[in-house]
Amino acid sequence: MGTFTGKVIIVTGGSSGIGRAAAILFGKEGGKVVVANRRIKEGEETVKMIKDAGGEGIFVQTDVRIAAQVENMVKKTVDTYGKLDIAFNNAGLAGVFQKLTDESEEIFYAQIDTNLKGIWLCMKNEIPVMLKQGGGVIVNNASITGLRALRKLNSYSASKHAVVGLTNSAAKEYAPYNIRIVAVCPGWTKTPMLWEFTSNPELMKKTEATVPLRRMARPEEIAELVIFLASDKASYIAGGGIAISGALDI
């Protein structure tokens, strides 16, 4: 019996990186995983990886910025599996390194639209299902920049601070109803979002030198924390932004 046998889990942004790693781990532990993201090919590839690892899953094309698509994601989950136990709201947009005075309104609203509104829409649709069934767990993916701002990541940092605030407010509101809500705050992680860094050895070396552990995280390391927080082993953890950054946050 796996940790999540019989559990139904949504993972947004499941096409790559942390989302894909978490989706596969949930599947390996017996979960029925709904992979939700915009890119069809990559989302279906994640589902195949889950099944190849002995798990079960489906893909639902979803843009978390669009209310109707988020509503459909949750409806499809319940229609297919009858419930929703866990949600890992992971979909997000990478930050753009610029001075605040050089940022455009388009960049600002793009960060807010995906990173903040996307998670708000997900919780808005996930929580009613969990209330009806008597509980659930939601893990939101924020960022270390939601705890400790970095220079030239103004809009991104603002959106991620807001995710932590939204998580904390919702955690207080719904903890009495047996719904645990918590945020993870990863530091530098080797994902496709960081292609500019991982494809440039010099930049990669400089970036890793800023981390006390002197390396970036693997997506699987972040996913392991998500898996723990979603499990019964973390039954008394509700609210907060939990850093996983190689000591970059302190």
Q: What is the pLDDT of residue 1?
A: 65
- With bands split at pLDDT 50, 70 and 90, how would you rate the model's confidence at 195? low
Q: What is the pLDDT of residue 31?
A: 96
Nearest-angstrom CA–CA distance, 157 and 168: 17
Task: Name all domains of the chain by residue range, CATH numbers in brackets.
Answer: 8-244 (3.40.50.720)
User: In the beta sheet, which residues pair with residue 242?
Assistant: 184
Nearest-angstrom CA–CA distance, 171 and 210: 32
DSSP H helices, the chain, are 17-28, 40-52, 67-81, 105-111, 118-133, 154-174, 195-198, 201-209, 219-230
Q: Over 80: is that where the pLDDT of 204 sits?
A: no
Contact between residue 30 and residue 234 where contact means Cβ atoms under 8 Å apart: no
What is the DSSP pairing of strand 56-61 with strand 86-89? unpaired
The verdict on whether 109 is a catalytic residue reads no
Q: What is the pLDDT of residues 23-55, one digit of tens each?
A: 999 999 999 999 999 999 999 999 999 999 889
Q: What is the pLDDT of residue 196?
A: 59
Q: What is the pLDDT of residues 49-102, one digit of tens each?
A: 999 988 999 999 999 999 999 999 999 999 999 999 999 999 998 888 889 999
Q: Over 90: is that where the pLDDT of 150 sits?
A: no
DSSP H helices, 117-212, are 118-133, 154-174, 195-198, 201-209
Section 107-111 average pLDDT = 93
- With bands split at pLDDT 50, 70 and 90, how would you rate the model's confidence at 206? confident
Question: Catalytic residue among 156, 174, 177, 236, which?
Answer: 156
Q: Over 90: is that where the pLDDT of 247 sits?
A: no
Nearest-angstrom CA–CA distance, 47 and 57: 6
Nearest-angstrom CA–CA distance, 214 and 2: 34
Section 3-15 average pLDDT = 96
Q: Over 90: is that where the pLDDT of 205 sits?
A: no
